[in-house]
Structure 1
Amino acid sequence: MNKAVFFDVDDTLYDHLIPFRKAVYPWTEHIAHFPYEKAYHRMRYYSDMLSLEFGGAGQMEEGDSTDLMRRKRFQLALEEFDVLLTEQEAEEIQQLYLACQFDIECFDGARELILELQQKGYVVGLLTNGAEAHQWKKIRALKLDEIIPLSRIFVSGTYGIDKPDPDIFRLINERIDIPAAQCTYIGDSWRNDVIGACHADWNVIWFNHRELEQEAGITLLGDVKDYAELRAILL
């Protein structure tokens, strides 16, 4: 029976912290030892929270609600670190963020692992949360569409189902005709990736390159910090 390996995109196949740091740096460079990684995690938390509040990724392509969400996530995240932003400043950060968000490269070993898995007969695909057009820009920037069949690339906004809802994983099982027990998901987000995939009965490898603490109640196939460790588990 075929086996499948699916990857998250943001902060799993490339370093999502880099565009965030570039965008907020003009407002934080005066602060010694500013905790960019902690602030980044808070931005992602507020991004998920506000996206759900406004109707999920399927509603987040364009429009006033999307613009408000994107500004507000920076305001709320940086406020926790005593950086208070006006609406205009938050908009400037968002524009900087967009300008560098697609200047990205895969982590070392990521593309090589995808190709090796395919050569060994695995069905390899992507599952990413986000608005369809926005996430596809990242996928093309990383040139992942050149090595992964388009039929195996799933963006939550296309279907109106966001991780951690297990239904998005079940939809993939139906599309690729492979049962959950034969599927493995790799992602960095405990809430979206680990919990979502586990609730859909997939095997899960946590791409924990930020070396965070595990939460209780989940059995993982692995906890890895780079693609060398990931390859050792998968192959």
Structure 2
Amino acid sequence: MDTIIFDVDDTLYDQLVPFKIALRKLLKNSVSEQLLHEMYVSSRKHSDALFEKNLSGEVSLLDMQTYRITAACQESGINISFQEAVDFQENYLEEQHRIMLYKDIELLLDFLNSKNKQIALLTNGDKEHQSMKIKQLGLINWIPKEHHFISNEIGYGKPSEEVFLHIEKKLQLEKSKTVYIGDSFENDVVGAKQVGWHSIWMNHRKRAMPDIGIKPDLVFSNTKELLDSFQK
């Protein structure tokens, strides 16, 4: 592959870590590891469901953020107030200022640069928020700013074809020599495959593969497997 494009959230770092810390503050530690994981997955699901409405301006960023944690709590039989949802989001944001790259991802980025590969980022979300995380992760050390693509800045979000085609034009890439790596089957795998890119699904949350006639080229359950696949 000549061009390797990465998702950011829960692909390059463990997004569950800041979520767990913020949720434990909200629920006063009275929650099991299994329930924390289930609520994280639920929150991501509700966030994805509202993303297009947020992108179009129909739903505000704060409304999306408070809704996703409120809905995740409700699915687990926990009721929280709007203010508690706001407090959770503030704590979650604070913890996101402490996120770190997976160590194997650092090694992979070093390796790809040593091979003169074209590397880019494609992430859904608010420009300011995602830029903060990109900065915190130090990704500018490997990936030039002009290769940072954020959905709300482009005007289209994954899995729409438009956002992938936008990157094709900007990077002048070849479909057959391009791979997109991400953790969301619906956004990352489907989005990449529908425009003819290769796809690697980072399925470290052990989600079931949807039976929709689309499959990733490779599936990995951890970043060590991903690193090894490139270094072979």
Alpha-carbon distance, 1:34 to partner: 5.0
Alignment-derived partner of residue 17 in structure 1: 16
Q: Which residue of 2 aligns with 1:35?
A: 35
Quote the Cα distance in structure 1 between the aligned partners of 2:193 and 2:39. 27
Structure 1 residue ranges (4+ consecutive) displaced by more than 3 angstroms after TM superposition: 31-34
Aligned to 2:152: 157
Within 5 Å, give how 1:56-67 maps onto structure 2.
Answer: 56=56, 59=57, 65-67=60-62
Cα distance in 1 for residues equivalent to 2:31 and 2:125: 31
Task: Determine whether 1:215 maps to 2:210.
Answer: yes
Separation in structure 2 between the aligned mates of residue 232 and residue 218 of structure 1, nearest angstrom: 25
The residue aligned with 2:47 is 47
- Residue in structure 1 matching 2:67, options 32, 51, 72: 72
Confirm whether residue 99 of structure 1 aligns to residue 94 of structure 2.
Answer: yes
Counterpart of 2:105 in structure 1 is: 110
Segment drifting more, 65-74 vs 202-211: 65-74
Secondary structure at the counterpart of residue 40 of structure 1: helix
C-alpha displacement at 1:102, in angstroms? 1.8
For the residue of structure 2 that corresponds to 1:220, the secondary structure is coil
Residues 167 and 200 of structure 1 are in contact (CA less than 8 Å); yes or no, is this contact kept in structure 2?
A: no
Residue 3 of structure 1, CA deviation: 1.3
Task: Determine which of 117, 125, 128 is the counterpart of 2:123.
Answer: 128
The runs of 5 or more residues in structure 2 that have no matched partner are none
- Once residues 199 and 155 of structure 1 are traced to their aligned partners in structure 2, the CA distance between those partners, rounded to angstroms, is 19
- Structure 1 residues 3 and 32 mapped into 2: Cα distance closer, same or farther (>3 Å)? closer
TM-score, normalised via structure 1 length: 0.91
The count of corresponding residues between Structure 1 and Structure 2 is 229
Matched, 1:224 2:220: yes
Which residue of 1 is the match for residue 25 of structure 2? Answer: 26
- What stretches of structure 1 of length at least 5 have no aligned partner? none
Alignment deviations for residues 7-47 of structure 1 (CA, whole Å, 9 cap, x no partner): 10000000000111111113432245551111111111111
% identical aligned pairs: 32
Within 2, Cα distance between the matches of 1:33 and 1:10? 20
Q: Once the 2 structures are TM-superposed, how far is the Cα of residue 167 of structure 1 from its aligned partner?
A: 1.4
Name the amino acid aligned to 2:25. Answer: P
Tell me: CA distance 1:135–1:55, structure 2 relative to 1, closer, same or farther (3 Å).
closer
Cα distance, 1:134 vs structure 2: 0.6
Asked whether the equivalents of residues 55 and 157 of structure 2 are also in contact (C-alpha less than 8 Å), the reply is: no
1:228 deviates by 2.2
Q: Residues 82 and 139 from structure 1, CA distance in 2 versus in 1: closer, same or farther, beyond 3 angstroms? A: same
Residues 81 and 48 of structure 1: is their aligned pair in 2 closer, same or farther, counting only changes over 3 Å?
A: same
Question: Aligned equivalents of 2:31 and 2:2: distance in 1?
Answer: 48
Deviation string 1:140-191 (CA, Å, 9 cap, x unpaired) is 0000012211111111111111001121111111111112111100000011
Structure 2 CA distance for aligned equivalents of residues 152 and 114 of structure 1? 14
1:233 aligns to what?
A: 229
1:172 paired residue number? 167
**Alpha-carbon distance in 2 for matches of 1:131, 1:172:** 18
TM-score by length of 2: 0.92
